[in-house]
Structure 1
Amino acid sequence: MIALIIAIAVTVIAATLIIKRYQPHTVLLLSGLTLFAATALFFPEQSVIFRKTDPTGWTGFDIFEHIHGIMSYRLAGLGLIIMAAGGFAKYMDHIGATNAMVDISIKPLSRIHAPYLVLAIGYAVGQVLNIFIPSAAGLAMLLLVTLYPTLVRLGVSKAAAAAMIGTTSVLDLGPASGTANLAANTANIDVAIFFTQYQIPLAAFIIPTICVLTYFSAKYFDSRDGHVVVAGHSAPVGTMDPEPVAQSAPGFYALLPILPLTMILIFSKLFIAHIEISVVTAMIMGALLGLFCEMIRLRHDLREVFKGFMVFFKGMGTMFSGIISLIICAEFFAGGLKAIGAIDFMIVTAESAGFGLVGMMFVACILVAVTAILTGSGNAAFFSFANLAPQLTASSSAGAVSLLLPLQFTAGIARSLSPVSGVIIAVSEVAGCSPIDIVKRTAIPLGGALIVLFTYNVLFLSAS
């Protein structure tokens, strides 16, 4: 209980400082350090980190070795995705490709005369794309390159566009999703069956709900903030701090920003299953194709073209200093919560609650949501609680899937309600606002999604 009190106190202090706009990197790093130090001093026997087979030899150094481990892991995976996408976005801005794409796409979209309708539809499109691009951060960065500038040019505020993009992967749909595979394996069913018979019917209710609430929520917050919808003039198009943009880029340059997304979709289980292209690979190929186009277009000044490609690498560095470092600090803080036993306490509480299946579903979903919001990771939250489902539903005819499905969806939804989530951090950085501002905007659509989720599952369990 003392460990839980320490964890809650540190979390409340950290949240308060972040809300008061203290530098979140430093707040999370020091908060994580405090939790690890408290664990090392008072509860060393309960932390896996201090019982590793290859420690440094002293507990104090093991704490910082853990930061090293997080950096190595994140830079090789999520961090590289975000950096490559950020560098690609910067280079597309630099050569004028983003502006070319927007200039073409703005014409038919502007005829709708309903920018918030386009915003709402954008969520549904993004959620469908999530089936083929299971990386939440990767999909968000692709949409920030393609859809975000178009929405901003139509007149939607930067924060509204970014918040919508931050919700596009909340359901983790499809056989490529890690949480969907874990849920299917835990329920002892094929992942394709889990997707078609369980995920899709529930998603058919949640997706329209989020679309409708995104429409009204965005209008409300933009109106409250004094945003005036003026198509084509509301904000700069570039998704990053813009470099000098090449003038009069050819019209076909509009295809360059969507090339990585197109390649990822084509070389997937949707079309060509035996070839697979990762987000990072697609971004590198897209940036190099842009370079080759510039070499042909500006062949009289190759020195400047070669120099201009440094924008790609500078963009990667910018993403590391602003976003990746914050994700690393957030994960270190989450590791501190796990080390001191706060997460284990929640799991034990779920096991010993003793409620009926419906009550157990609510308790488990609340614990998963709290874990996801605190850690910024839907995977961490779901992986922590998924193994409880078979034993909690052993006496029910509904089966483990009746608890696994709401847990999986709750974990993804709560991830986009967390100000320390990698996706929320990324979109807030692009929009030039705080993660808290983005979370305020996602709260209404995702709150509605949770209501629909719980209602659907209560009816499902009642009918079982």
Structure 2
Amino acid sequence: MHYLGVIISLVFVVLVAKLLLKKYNPHAVLLLSGLAMLVISQILSYQMPSLENPTGFAGFDLFRYIKESFSETNAGVGLMIMSIGGFVAYIDKIGASEALVYVAMKPLKLLRKYPYIAASMVIPIGQLLFVAIPSAAGLSLLLMASLFPILVNLGVSRLSAVSVITAATAFGIGPASAISVSATTISEIPVITFFLHYQIPLVLPLSLSMMITYFFVNRYFDKKNNLIEIVEKTEEKILKVPIYYAIIPILPIILLIVFSKIFNLFKTPIILDTTTAMFISLFAALIFELIRTKKINNVLNSLQTFWNGMGNIFKTVVTLIITADIFAKGLISLGFIDGLLALAQNIGFGAIGIGVIMSIMIFLASMLMGSGNASFFAFGPLVPKIAKTLGVESSTIILPMQLSASMGRTVSPVAGVIIATAEIAKVTTIDIVKRNLIPLAVALAIMLMYHYI
């Protein structure tokens, strides 16, 4: 065991956490720290990660790691995530996301006499929307525009309303989620199988626990601080597109479920992958737009929104995956995983102990970074080696880690979703985090007990 390498890797983990907390660029921090660890590993003659085509010179091999990571990511998970980003940008452009939110919010108006029940109902409804609109900041802003006035009119405080809206993005699940796609790639499980058989059974009790905890936490704090307010009834927002546009955001999910091995509805199997489903749904959306507007030139020009969305996801999420992969390679080369496993075994931990430690670590990392993607992409790739050493399936460890990443973001004062909603609601980010911390901590504890015990 190279204890020096483990100590150095821990120093890098702490250093990276501090730099990210100070809002240094995460892509640069992860990339440079990963390369630095690889250099140290070379100097100390540690075992380096394998390369498909080494250059023959150790110095150049450092950059070959970046090249191969780009190639592997862009050919697989990167293209999938970019297609998702392009589709999300397009449905937002044509108003389909707004139509879906408009339809989903209708049931809440039936609970006028029970404002805190209505507020708690936002969580499962918002979670369903989050599966189809996998942008935490994007969905939250849509809900702030459409749902926030409704909740306030029902007698819920501004702080309680914004807390449940952000809580709706606490679980990044489904085939359109970047974290889910990465988790399925790591665990080598089909994305729709992972969604239906792994994520949903675990998220259902967590959503129920959050509904209950938010009901009591928000009611308690509102009464304690005398924050309950009732404002003049706000006029209902007019929908600018046909209501049937609400089907467009969920079309990829419908396609993936119908054409999957789960149901076997056809004699000759028809299996769709996520990327293909996104492109099919894009062209369906184009047809919807052509029927509505009858302006073929405008519809053709609108396709640029899709390409722009793909580009935006590449420069943010995909490049983050690549830089995080280099960071993970650096940790592995210094013996971080071997050290973690040795420590766990000496203490008496097995797969359960390691899984709990990794989940809590990612939860805290997301709080520091304000990004579930950054924390998961940094530590997720380490799972296969851990699982193989412990003799368990990768999915056993990866599932709670994946959920912990998005849960941690919901209690981060530097997360984009928290900052954006706090600005609109005219409350502080710290106040939102205080409301979210108890329900999310309870959900984290329930998740770890439910999954491992």
Structure 2 residues without counterparts, runs of 5 or longer: 152-160, 366-374, 422-428
Aligned to 1:349: 343
Distance 2:146 2:52 in 1: 55
Is 1:19 aligned with 2:21? yes
Aligned to 1:149: 142
**1:447 deviation in Å?**
3.4
Q: 1:369 aligns with which of 350, 356, 359?
A: 359
> What SS class does the counterpart of residue 54 from structure 2 fall into?
coil
Aligned to 1:317: 311
Is 1:331 aligned with 2:334? no
Distance 1:58 1:203 in 2: 48
Aligned to 1:185: none
Mapping for residues 61-460 of structure 1, pairs under 5 Å: 61-113=60-112, 114=115, 116-122=119-125, 141=134, 149-150=142-143, 153-155=146-148, 161=165, 164-169=168-173, 206=206, 208-213=208-213, 248-272=240-264, 274-299=269-294, 301-353=295-347, 355=348, 360=350, 363-369=353-359, 376-377=376-377, 380-389=381-390, 407=397, 410-416=400-406, 444-452=438-446
Distance 2:243 2:12 in 1: 53
AA of the residue aligned to 2:260:
S
Distance 1:60 1:222 in 2: 60
AA of the residue aligned to 2:123:
A
Aligned residues: 398
Contact 1:154/1:232 (CA < 8 Å) preserved in 2?
A: no
Distance 2:385 2:233 in 1: 46
AA of the residue aligned to 2:301:
K
Is 1:45 aligned with 2:40? no
Distance 1:257 1:160 in 2: 22
Aligned to 1:135: none
**1:261 deviation in Å?**
1.9
Aligned to 1:134: none
Distance 1:441 1:75 in 2: 39
Contact 2:12/2:33 (CA < 8 Å) preserved in 1?
A: yes
Distance 2:433 2:31 in 1: 21
Contact 1:82/1:141 (CA < 8 Å) preserved in 2?
A: no
Aligned to 2:426: none
**1:383 deviation in Å?**
2.5
Deviations 1:425-461 (A, max 9, x none): 9x96677769x99999876545324433565689x6x
**1:58 deviation in Å?**
1.3
**1:380 deviation in Å?**
3.5
Aligned to 1:187: none
Contact 2:325/2:381 (CA < 8 Å) preserved in 1?
A: no
Contact 2:54/2:61 (CA < 8 Å) preserved in 1?
A: yes
> What SS class does the counterpart of residue 309 from structure 1 fall into?
helix
AA of the residue aligned to 2:292:
R
Aligned to 2:58: 59
**1:19 deviation in Å?**
1.0
Aligned to 1:4: 6
Distance 2:216 2:283 in 1: 40
Contact 2:167/2:436 (CA < 8 Å) preserved in 1?
A: yes
**1:153 deviation in Å?**
2.0
Distance 2:220 2:78 in 1: 34
> What SS class does the counterpart of residue 246 from structure 2 fall into?
helix
**1:298 deviation in Å?**
2.8
Deviations 1:341-370 (A, max 9, x none): 1112112223343x3xxx546643344336
Tell me: CA distance 1:149–1:279, structure 2 relative to 1, closer, same or farther (3 Å): farther
RMSD: 4.9
> What SS class does the counterpart of residue 71 from structure 2 fall into?
helix
> What SS class does the counterpart of residue 15 from structure 1 fall into?
helix
TM-score normalised according to structure 2 size: 0.69
Deviations 1:105-159 (A, max 9, x none): 33333333555322332477589x8xxxxxxxxx773898889835762128778
Distance 2:49 2:353 in 1: 26
Tell me: CA distance 1:320–1:10, structure 2 relative to 1, closer, same or farther (3 Å): same
Deviates more, 1:215-224 or 1:288-297: 215-224
Contact 1:369/1:381 (CA < 8 Å) preserved in 2?
A: no
Tell me: CA distance 1:304–1:450, structure 2 relative to 1, closer, same or farther (3 Å): closer
Aligned to 1:132: none
Distance 1:228 1:448 in 2: 28
AA of the residue aligned to 2:341:
I
**1:340 deviation in Å?**
1.4
**1:312 deviation in Å?**
0.9
> What SS class does the counterpart of residue 111 from structure 2 fall into?
coil
Distance 1:66 1:229 in 2: 58
Contact 1:218/1:441 (CA < 8 Å) preserved in 2?
A: yes
Distance 2:284 2:445 in 1: 46
TM-score normalised according to structure 1 size: 0.67
Contact 1:119/1:215 (CA < 8 Å) preserved in 2?
A: no
**1:99 deviation in Å?**
2.6
Structure 1 residues without counterparts, runs of 5 or longer: 130-138, 183-190, 238-246, 391-399
Distance 1:260 1:116 in 2: 28
